[in-house]
Amino acid sequence: MAGVTLRNIVKRYGDVEAVRGINLDIADEEFVVLVGPSGCGKSTTLRMIAGLEDISDGDIAIDGDVVNDVPPKDRDIAMVFQNYALYPHMTVAENMSFGLRLKRYPKAEIKARVDEAARILDIRELLDRKPKALSGGQRQRVAMGRAIVRNPKVFLFDEPLSNLDAKLRVQMRTEIKKVHLKVRTTTVYVTHDQVEAMTLADRVVVMNHGRIEQIGPPNELYHHPRTRFVAGFIGSPAMNFIPVQLEQASGGLTMRLSDTIAMPVPAARTERYKAHVGQSGLVLGVRPEHITDAQSASGANIVPFDIRLDVIEPMGNETLVYFTLSGETMCGRVSPEAGAADGEPLKLAANLNHMHLIDAKGEVL
């Protein structure tokens, strides 16, 4: 068990910088998820921790020791790959024990560890099978078992659930979390799926264009995103963005969406936003759950407005409504009883207590 430290990690492929100076401290027993769109450098970062890619610049330390030039096998890590990478000619038990057999562990100890991992993952009855006789979810468990038996300092997961169908993915997500609670090994997990990131992580690291946008616990990222990228990436459906002008009005600030629509800024935020009055390129960010039907929302800073809906998506417990405001497609979440219908008008309400104001550089103010 050990922490992992990344200091100014850079990865260059020729002239292209895939990772541009990453600093990250992962505590012992922590579950950290690297998340971001494809090509953001998250997998490269993970592979550098594993030692499968060289570091162009910076330092990686595992358990306090710099491992820049340490080969993968001496880093005491285990990795789970997207396509499982099980050895096709070995049985499940042989797959799981391969690393231990290479290190010449005593037979009894190997058996004990394999049995223990098989018990944790509930794959005891599969131990004699070959990988081709397993389903996708079972293969994924075996791949995790192969990591667990080694009892490494760090687990590395590279998009382990991407090859599974949606239902199994949700199930395995829970499994991974349970296993982590049992085994308590420091884990770095890479995914492009923000839901996976939110549900699994102690802390989420949002990456974009080879840089870290924000690091924090899931709820902090969700409620206090620091950049427009994080605000838009975390949460599903994504946050609504709409350009606004910030104006000084009698008794406070006003956000002007268009010539006809203006909304007052909550009084509590006047102080924070005052300096940005008249600034160009400001964007208002509101999450879909803060745009609801006017009937079920009232109170301070909840601004009702009439709109004609484009389309609706009934989800059962709620209905997603889509409409156009100042040329932007917006999404709201209303009660199924609100009477929303395709192409029909509806009275909605925006809860500005949870609004975000973003400047032209993409930073949340």
Residues that bind another protein (CB under 8 A): 50-52, 71-73, 77-79, 81-83, 85, 87-89, 98-99, 102-103, 146, 150
Q: From the CB of 198, what's the least distance to another protein, in Å? A: 27
CA 359 – CA 281 distance, rounded (Å): 6
Closest to another protein by CB, 98 vs 305, is 98
Question: CA nearest 323: which of 291, 354, 297?
Answer: 291
Kindly provide the b/e burial profile for residues 2-29, where b requires at least 16 CB atoms within 10 angstroms of the residue's own CB. Answer: bbbbbeebbbeeeeebbbbebebebeee
Locate tokens 């420091």: which residue?
186
As a whole number of angstroms, the distance between CA 47 and CA 83 comes to 15
Scanning the structure block, which residue is given the tokens 């791949």?
143
- Looking at beta carbons only, is 144 or 255 nearer to another protein? 144
* Shortest reach from residue 51's CB to another protein, in Å: 8
The nearer residue to another protein, 82 or 227, going by C-beta atoms, is 82
Minimum distance from residue 261 beta carbon to another protein (Å): 52
Q: Which is nearer to another protein, 1 or 52 (CB)?
A: 52
Q: Cβ closer to another protein: 79 or 215?
A: 79
**For another protein, which is the closer residue by CB, 88 or 299?**
88
- Shortest approach of another protein to residue 191 CB, angstroms? 17
- Would you say 363 and 276 are in contact if contact means Cβ atoms under 8 Å apart? no
What three-state secondary structure class fits 342? Answer: coil
CB of 170 to another protein, least distance (A): 24
Write b or e for each residue in 201-225: b if 16 or more Cβ atoms lie within 10 A of its Cβ, otherwise e: bebbbbbbebbbbbbbebeebbeeb
Residue with tokens 């468990």: 141
**Please, what is the minimum distance in Å from the beta carbon of residue 17 to another protein?**
21
